[in-house]
Structure 1
Amino acid sequence: MSKQILLNAFNMNCIGHINHGLWTHPRDTSTRYKDIEYWTDLARLLERGLFDGLFIADIVGTYDIYGDSVDVTLKESIQLPVNDPLLLVSAMAAVTRNLGFGLTANLTYEPPYLFARRLSTLDHLSKGRVGWNIVTGYLDSAARAMGLEQQPEHDRRYDQADEYLQVLYKLLEGSWADDAVVEDRKQRVYARPDKVRKVEHRGEFYKVEGYHLCEPSPQRTPVLFQAGSSARGLAFAGNHAECVFIGGQTHSGTRAQVDKVRAAALAAGRDPQAIKVFMGITVIVAPTEEQARAKHAEYLRHASAEAGVAHFAASTGIDFAAFDLDEPINAGQGNAIQSATKLLQDNAWTRRRLLEQHALGGRYVTLVGAPDQVAEQLIGWIDETGLDGFNLARTVTPESYEDFIDLVVPELQRRGRYKTAYAEGSLRQKLFASPSAHLPADHPGSTYRTPTNAPTGAAHHA
Structure 2
Amino acid sequence: MTKQMHFGAFEVYGPQVGGTLSWPHELSDQINFADTEHWIEVARILEEGGFDFLFFADGYGYPMIGEDISDVAVERGINFSGYDPAMIIPVLAQHTTSLGFVVTASTGMDHPVQLARRFATLDQLTGGRIGWNIVTGASQNAVAKLLGHTEMLPHDTRYAMASEYVEIAAKYLEQGWDDDAVRADRRTGQYLRREGIHRVDYAGEHYRSSGYFTAPPTPQRTPVLFQAGTSPKGRAFAAAHAECVFVQATTPAHTAANIADIRAQAVQAGRDPQGLKIMAGLTVFVAADESTAVQLQEEFLAMQTDEIAATLYAGNTGIDLLALDPERTLHQVFDGDAGPAGQMGISNIERFLGGDGAPAPTVREILDDLRGRGTRGFTVVGTGEQVADQLQALVEQTDLDGFLLEPVYDPRDLRAFSELVMPVLRQRGLLPVKHQNVTLRERIREQPGARLGADHPIPEVRPAPQGV
TM-score range, shorter chain: over 0.9
Percent identity reads 38
Comparing 338-347 with 325-334, greater Cα deviation is found at 325-334
What does residue range 329-368 of structure 1 map to in structure 2 within 5 Å? 329=330, 330-332=332-334, 334-346=342-354, 347-362=359-374, 363-368=376-381
Pick aligned residue for 2:464 from 435, 451, 460: 451
SS in 1 for 2:285: strand
Which runs of 5 or more residues in structure 1 are unaligned? Answer: 456-462
Name the residue aligned to 1:89.
Answer: 89
Q: Which amino acid aligns with 1:377?
A: Q
Q: Does 1:265 align with 2:266?
A: yes
Q: Distance in 2 between matches of 1:11 and 1:121?
A: 22
Q: What does 1:140-219 correspond to in 2, within 5 Å?
A: 140-219=141-220
Name whichever of 304-313 and 387-396 sits farther off.
304-313
For the 8 Å contact 1:20–1:76, the answer to whether it is kept is no
The corresponding residue for 1:291 is 292
How far off its partner does 1:402 sit? Answer: 1.0
Q: Which residue is equivalent to 2:119?
A: 119
TM-superposition CA deviations, 1:222-248 (whole Å, max 9, x none): 000112222222221111110111112
Q: 2: CA distance between counterparts of 1:72 and 1:201?
A: 44
Counterpart of 2:207, as a letter, is Y
| Alpha-carbon distance between aligned partners in 2 of 1:43 and 1:260, rounded to the nearest angstrom | 34
Q: Which runs of 5+ in 2 are unaligned?
A: 335-340
The residue that corresponds to 2:386 in the other structure is 373
Shift of the alpha carbon at 1:420? 5.4
Q: 2: CA distance between counterparts of 1:387 and 1:374?
A: 16
Match of 1:27 in 2: 27
Amino acid paired to 2:188: Q
- Equivalent AA in structure 2 for residue 142 of structure 1: V
Q: Following the alignment from structure 1 to structure 2, what is the Cα–Cα distance between the partners of residues 398 and 436?
A: 33
Equivalent residues of 1:170, 1:199 under 8 A apart:
yes
2:234 matched to which residue of 1?
Answer: 233
Q: Number of residues paired by the alignment?
A: 455
Deviation at 1:389, TM superposition (A): 0.4
Specify the code of the residue in structure 1 equivalent to 2:286: V
Give the letter aligned to residue 340 of structure 1.
N
Q: Which amino acid aligns with 1:406?
A: E
Return 346-355 or 185-194, whichever deviates more. 346-355
Query: 2:439 aligned with 1:426, yes or no?
Result: yes
Per the alignment, do residues 44 and 313 of structure 1 end up closer, same or farther by CA in structure 2, a change over 3 Å counting? same
AA of the residue aligned to 2:270: G
Distance of 1:22 and 1:305 partners within structure 2: 15
Q: 1:409 to 1:305 in 2, by over 3 A?
A: farther
Residues 402-445 of structure 1 deviation map (CA, whole Å, 9 limit, x = unaligned): 11111111111121112452354110011102321001111111
Counterparts of 1:261 and 1:424 in 2: how far apart (Å)? 31
Hey, what does 1:404 align to over in structure 2?
417
- Secondary structure (helix, strand or coil) at the match of 1:270 reads coil
1:66 Cα shift?
7.0
Partner of 1:3: 3
Name the CA distance, whole Å, in 1 between partners of 2:67 and 2:131.
36
Aligned 8 A contact 1:20 1:305 in 2: no
Q: State TM-score, norm by structure 1.
A: 0.94
Give the Cα–Cα distance (whole angstroms) in 2 for the partners of residues 246 and 183 of structure 1: 45
Deviation digits for residues 310-362 of structure 1, max 9, x if unmatched?
A: 11222222111213544543343611121211122114433432332234252
Q: Residue in 1 aligned with 2:337?
A: none
Amino acid at match of 2:240: N
CA distance in 2, matches of 1:279, 1:454: 45
Counterpart for residue 460 of structure 1: none
The RMSD of aligned alpha carbons is 1.8
CA contact (8 A) 2:248 2:347 kept: no
Counterpart in the other structure of 1:98: 98
1:266-281 aligned at under 5 Å gives the runs 266-281=267-282
Moved more, 306-315 or 148-157: 306-315
Deviation at 1:305, TM superposition (A): 4.6
Which residue of the partner structure matches residue 459 of structure 1? none
